[in-house]
Amino acid sequence: MPHSETLAPPPTSVAPPRLRLGKLCVAIQGGSPAELMNRAETASKQFKFIELRLDSLPKPANAVSYLKQFMGEHKDVTAIATCRRKAHGGGFDGPLSAELEILTKAAQAGCHIIDLEVESAEECKAAQLSKLRTAGAAVLISFHDFSRTKGLEQAADRIEIFKPDFVKVVSTARSLVDNMAVLRLIEDRSLASHVVAIAMGEEGLVSRVLGPRAGAAFTFASYSEGTETAPGQIKAETLRDVYRLEHLDHATRVFGVAGNPIAHSLSPLLHNAAFRREVVNAVLLPLKSKSVQDLLTLALELPLAGCAITMPLKTEVLPHLANMDPLTSRIGACNTLRMGADGKLYGFNTDVAGVIRPLERRLRLNGARVAVLGAGGAARAAVFGLVEQGAEVLVVNRTHEHAVSLARQAKAKSLKHELLAKQHFDVLINATPCGMAGSKQALPIAENELNAGLVFDMVYNPLETPLLKLAKSRGLHVISGLEMFVQQGARQFEIWTGKPAPESEMMRVVEHELRKRT
């Protein structure tokens, strides 16, 4: 169960009831009162703090009897009632008087907090607000900006005029740096008020996870995938189990995985499982980065302790590094950042370890004959890394000029694709997207070109690619892209923590997730 804390009234309060709140509030909506309360029933088995979005119902007033029954049967649940009008970003199309009546009845039915948007508060007469305050629930007054993050302090000032029990300011993040404005608002206001502040949108994930760490009274999460009540909302189980929201504190080191798109990255699952297993007080967050400068500004201001980065940032970040390891310099790509004690960023490339480590466990690389299919970023790491280990590397690419260029840079050899079937290799590596989930092309080569004792496919989704299936059917040994993904992540973990990585646990959680997805 989530850890709870008792919130006493803030200095500006009008003496609300004492509330036991977790750091995580699960927002629930439904198409009917029965569906809303059924979802609340399910959520309450794991989470004891919920928000009931009455404005998601066609007729919110019809839910009052359901509310009363639910709250009577669940004395251990703390509930927020929200009935936001359409003019202010909600779903309720009634007038102010109807909104106030619904919120009053929700409070009388047992809801502990009622959420009133600041525009409605400003529209209210003093007598209406006074009546609402006597309904028996704490009052949360909220502000929402659905287009940007700007003027947060002014928004909080508008709310605090009414001396509510909770101040809620919600903006929309257009960049990673927008999270910093939200976190600063929390830090500045949380000593005097019970503050909730969030930036919506995928870029605002940092504020959702780190808000309570900065001093926010709580944060919001969705009931399940597809039932989000706001853009960028994270599933409650993910916030609790992957990001370990309840355990984050000021000593928690923050890492990231940056790129665009980034939502489906498995790196948060991989690294947060490793941090948990090795009892490292750290969390890794997905960072949707539209520019390298946005990422670097967040890295310095938050600050980030380190970051995994994807294309195109792997090359764009190079001029901003204080130093990098020799292999990163030669490859011209960096996938791992570490923040030094001097506040400067240092670059590494662990994609190479992802290729070399699995191979070293199976054969001697010095003198081994290896064909690498592809000439893009993944191929570069493989080719440079294998050449350094003393392997004879032949680069094969459908556009032969690209193979020639990569081979020349890495001091490898190139081979025309039409000559592939006449050769034999110790290892054949697929560094193309062929066979990836959603890829139009299943195989990077024809069956008669599969002429190696060991086949290594860098693609890890699906777990068993068409190439690996074909290789197994011919009795060949195989290495999956999952092993590469785990090994490059294990090397990142070692760079960031100085500890050996829990490879088996990292493999277990990612394999389990990939099996769920298929």
355 domain residue, yes or no: no
Known binding residues for 3-dehydroquinate are 51-53, 84, 208, 229, 233
In a domain, 354, yes or no: no
- Is 461 inside any structural domain? yes
356 within a domain of the structure (yes/no): no
Asked whether residue 454 is domain-assigned, the answer is yes
Give me the sheet containing 336-339, strands edge to edge: 282-288, 253-259, 306-309, 336-339, 345-348, 323-324
Question: Active site includes 168?
Answer: yes
Catalytic, out of 105, 194, 271, 314: 314
Binding-site residue ranges for NADP(+): 374-378, 458, 481
Last residue of a domain, one of 208, 225, 250: 250
Same domain, 17 and 164: yes
Q: Which of 144, 194, 235, 271 is catalytic?
A: 144
Q: What are 512's two structure tokens?
A: 């389990």
Q: What CATH code is carried by the domain that includes residue 200?
A: 3.20.20.70
Regarding whether 203 and 299 lie in a shared domain, the answer is no
92 plus 147 within the same structural domain? yes
Residues 387 and 474 in one domain: yes
Report the alpha-carbon distance of residue 437 to residue 257 in Å, rounded. 21
How, if at all, do strands 24-28 and 49-53 pair? parallel
Where is the binding site for shikimate, in residues? 265-267, 310, 335, 351, 460, 488
Residue 463 lies in a domain: yes
CATH code of the domain containing 333: 3.40.50.10860
72 belongs to a structural domain:
yes
pLDDT of residue 59: 96
Backbone angles phi, psi at 274, to 5 degrees: -65, -45
Residues 23 and 170 in one domain: yes
Residue 307 domain boundaries: 255-349+487-517
Q: Judge if 231 and 306 occupy the same domain.
A: no
Both 196 and 333 in a single domain? Answer: no
CATH number of the domain within which 415 lies:
3.40.50.720
Instruction: Select which of 48, 105, 112, 168 is catalytic.
Output: 168
Contact 203, 176 (CB under 8 A): yes
Q: Give the residue from 204, 224, 250 where a domain finishes.
A: 250
In this structure, are 446 and 326 located in the same domain? no
Task: Provide the residue-wise pLDDT of the chain in tens; the chain has 518 residues.
Answer: 344 444 544 434 334 456 878 899 999 999 999 999 999 999 999 999 999 999 999 999 999 999 999 999 999 999 999 999 999 999 999 999 999 999 999 999 999 999 999 999 999 999 999 999 999 999 999 999 999 999 999 999 999 999 999 999 999 999 999 999 999 999 999 999 999 999 999 999 999 999 999 999 999 999 999 999 999 999 999 999 999 999 999 999 999 999 999 998 999 999 999 999 999 999 999 999 999 999 999 999 999 999 999 988 999 999 999 999 999 999 999 999 999 999 999 999 999 999 999 999 999 999 999 999 999 989 999 999 999 999 999 999 999 999 999 999 999 999 999 999 999 999 999 999 999 988 889 999 999 999 999 999 999 999 999 999 999 999 999 999 999 999 999 999 999 999 999 999 999 999 999 999 87
Letter string b/e over residues 485-500, b meaning 16 or more CB atoms within 10 A of that residue's CB = bbbbbbbbbebbbeee
Degrees (nearest 5) of the Cα angle 326, 329, 335?
100
Residues pairing with 259 in the sheet: 288
In single-letter form, the type of residue at position 297 comes to T
Q: H or E segment at 121?
A: helix 118-123
Q: Whose CA is closest to 370, among 395, 353, 406?
A: 395
**Is the domain of 116 the same as that of 224?**
yes
Tokens representing 492?
């990142």
Q: Where are the beta strands (DSSP E) in 238-391?
A: 253-259, 282-288, 306-309, 323-324, 336-339, 345-348, 369-373
Mark whether 314 is an active-site residue.
Answer: yes
Specify whether 339 is located in the same domain as 289. yes
pLDDT recorded at residue 505: 98
- Is 196 within a domain? yes
Confirm whether 112 is a catalytic residue: no
**Nearest-angstrom CA–CA distance, 460 and 437:** 9
* 473 and 493 part of one domain: no
For the chain, the domain total comes to 3
pTM (predicted TM-score): 0.93
76/196 same-domain check? yes
| Annotated binding-site members | 51-53, 84, 208, 229, 233, 265-267, 310, 335, 351, 374-378, 458, 460, 481, 488
Listed residues 197, 218, 250: the one ending a domain: 250
